[in-house]
């Protein structure tokens, strides 16, 4: 499982327990993997954050997905801070890739806003992306 991609300890434990059963051997195997640095939650969180940024996902969605994978909040926060990403610029890029035109009316603006928020951007980042959508064409 680790040959395909990095996993967090909790995520790998669930997968292995499903496949091989839950027991002391499982925890011993996971401990061995951690001792030999095959399993590293900090490294996994960093890779995960970078891959999601490349997909155009915002911090709220990334945080939620990492928490679902069993990573502690402190590690999630650290990984997001180390990503050193301009979330406002990423929201604008994500919006520009999906929508060619700025919203023409309130209904379209609401639709585009829902899209950005579903991608994990907060309200401030989303509104900023919508407000600046037409201005890049004028520059």
Domain boundary among 40, 59, 82: 82
User: Which residues span the domain enclosing 78?
Assistant: 9-82
Give how many domains the chain has, as a whole number.
2
Domain membership of residue 43 (yes or no) is yes
CB of 119 within 8 A of CB of 58? yes
Answer yes or no: do 68 and 95 share one domain: no
Q: What is the pLDDT of residues 62-85, one digit of tens each?
A: 999 999 999 999 999 999 999 999
Answer yes or no: do 78 and 91 share one domain: no
Q: Single out the residue of 86, 131, 88 nearest to residue 112, CA to CA.
A: 131
What pLDDT was estimated at residue 138? Answer: 38
Q: List, in sequence order, the alpha helices (H) in the chain.
A: 9-20, 24-35, 41-54, 59-68, 73-82, 87-98, 106-118, 123-131, 135-138
Domain boundary among 82, 104, 121: 82
Q: What is the pLDDT of residues 73-116, one digit of tens each?
A: 999 999 999 999 999 999 999 999 999 888 889 999 999 999 99
Answer yes or no: do 22 and 77 share one domain: yes
Domain boundary among 37, 62, 82: 82
Q: Single out the residue of 57, 54, 48, 68 nearest to residue 115, CA to CA.
A: 57
Domain membership of residue 3 (yes or no) is no
User: What percent of the chain is predicted at pLDDT more than 90?
Assistant: 79
């Amino acid at each position: 499982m680790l040959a395909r991609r990095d996993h967090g300890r909790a995520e790998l434990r669930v997968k292995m327990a499903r496949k091989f059963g839950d027991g002391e051997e499982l925890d011993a195997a996971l401990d061995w993997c951690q001792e030999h640095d095959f399993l590293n939650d900090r490294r996994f969180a960093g890779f995960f954050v970078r891959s999601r940024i490349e997909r155009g996902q915002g911090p709220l969605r990334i945080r939620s997905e990492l928490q679902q994978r069993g990573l502690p909040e402190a590690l999630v926060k650290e990984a997001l801070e180390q990503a050193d990403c301009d979330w406002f610029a990423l929201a604008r890029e994500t919006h520009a890739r999906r929508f060619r035109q700025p919203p023409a009316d309130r209904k379209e603006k609401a639709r585009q806003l829902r899209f950005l928020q579903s991608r994990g951007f907060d309200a401030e980042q989303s509104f900023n992306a919508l407000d600046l959508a037409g201005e890049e064409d004028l520059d």
